[in-house]
């Protein structure tokens, strides 16, 4: 497992990352020890270019694996009506996301937490993620089956996954698990997947 999954928080040397997301320029704080610390990674760029910000009926959003916070901050700045939960297992990533939320004036609407510390009853209208594919297929499947059921009926998850890292097989697997998945874009070796929750998803072998 890569080192950035367990980097402790602290006074790591900060630097700035500039990114244009949904037509708005963001200046983000980053530091060594988090995923793609020096720039907005290609997969997340593809995700943003293939999507639009959530609409006003989307009130609760989850950034699954937030890194230094580009997805969470973009969601909060473009959707002033939305509350964003940003989770990661890397404490430094959580600290940087908090700093970026304060820098962009959205700290009151961005909650950062380790996954196990979120309320068990938290539900979301949308989930956004550039998931940690390199943790392995089984761990990734467990991760998605933990968090996709947090979607409210009719909710949507937006995922970006490298084609050479199994995006197409992941799409098939999600469909087989009862999560209808559509490829909405393909660029620079990445697939953008839209996963929807129907009202008949089976969770723990019990139809809802």
What tokens does 36 get?
């793609």
Confidence at residue 162, expressed as pLDDT on a 0 to 100 scale: 96
Comparing C-alpha atoms, which of 160, 151, 181, 185 is closest to residue 65? 160
Paired with 157 in beta bridges are 127, 195
Confidence at residue 198, expressed as pLDDT on a 0 to 100 scale: 77
Confidence at residue 9, expressed as pLDDT on a 0 to 100 scale: 53
Confidence at residue 2, expressed as pLDDT on a 0 to 100 scale: 37
CATH 3.40.50.150 fits 3-207, yes or no: yes
pLDDT (tens, 9 = 90+) of the chain, 208 residues, equals: 334 445 555 567 999 999 999 999 999 999 999 999 999 999 999 999 999 999 999 999 999 999 999 999 999 999 999 999 999 999 999 999 999 999 999 999 999 999 999 999 999 999 999 999 889 999 999 999 999 999 999 999 999 999 999 999 999 999 999 999 999 999 999 999 999 997 654 444 443 4
Please, which residues have CB within 8 angstroms of residue 19's CB and are 6 or more apart in sequence? 25, 26, 28, 39, 40, 45, 70
Quote the CA–CA distance of 144 and 203 in Å, as a whole number.
12
Q: What is the model's pTM?
A: 0.90
Confidence at residue 178, expressed as pLDDT on a 0 to 100 scale: 96
Q: How far is CA 69 from CA 32, 62, 63, 152, in A?
A: 14, 12, 8, 23
Comparing C-alpha atoms, which of 46, 187, 72 is closest to residue 128? 72
What tokens does 111 get?
């909650």
Report whether 92 contacts 31 (CB < 8 A).
yes
* E strand intervals along 59-197: 60-64, 83-87, 110-113, 124-129, 151-162, 181-187, 190-196
Quote the CA–CA distance of 59 and 81 in Å, as a whole number.
6
Please, which residues have CB within 8 angstroms of residue 58's CB and are 6 or more apart in sequence? 79, 82, 125, 126
């Amino acid at each position: 497992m890569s080192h950035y999954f367990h980097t402790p928080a602290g006074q790591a040397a900060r630097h700035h990352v500039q990114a244009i997301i949904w037509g708005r320029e963001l200046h983000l704080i980053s530091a060594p020890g988090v995923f793609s610390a020096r720039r907005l990674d290609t997969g997340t760029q593809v995700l943003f270019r293939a999507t639009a910000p959530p609409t006003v009926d989307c009130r609760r959003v989850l950034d699954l694996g937030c890194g230094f916070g580009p997805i969470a901050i973009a969601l909060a700045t473009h959707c002033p009506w939305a509350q964003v939960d940003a989770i990661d297992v890397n404490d430094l990533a959580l600290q940087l996301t908090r700093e970026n939320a304060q820098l962009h004036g959205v700290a009151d609407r961005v909650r950062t937490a380790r996954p196990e510390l979120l309320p068990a009853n938290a539900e979301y209208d949308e989930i956004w993620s550039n998931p940690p594919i390199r943790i392995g297929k089984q761990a990734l499947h467990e991760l998605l089956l933990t968090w996709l059921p947090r979607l409210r009926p009719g909710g949507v998850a937006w995922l970006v996954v490298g084609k050479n890292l199994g995006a197409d097989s992941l799409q098939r697997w999600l469909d087989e698990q009862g999560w209808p998945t559509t490829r909405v874009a393909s660029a620079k070796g990445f697939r953008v997947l839209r996963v929807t929750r129907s009202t008949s998803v089976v969770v723990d072998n019990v139809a809802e």
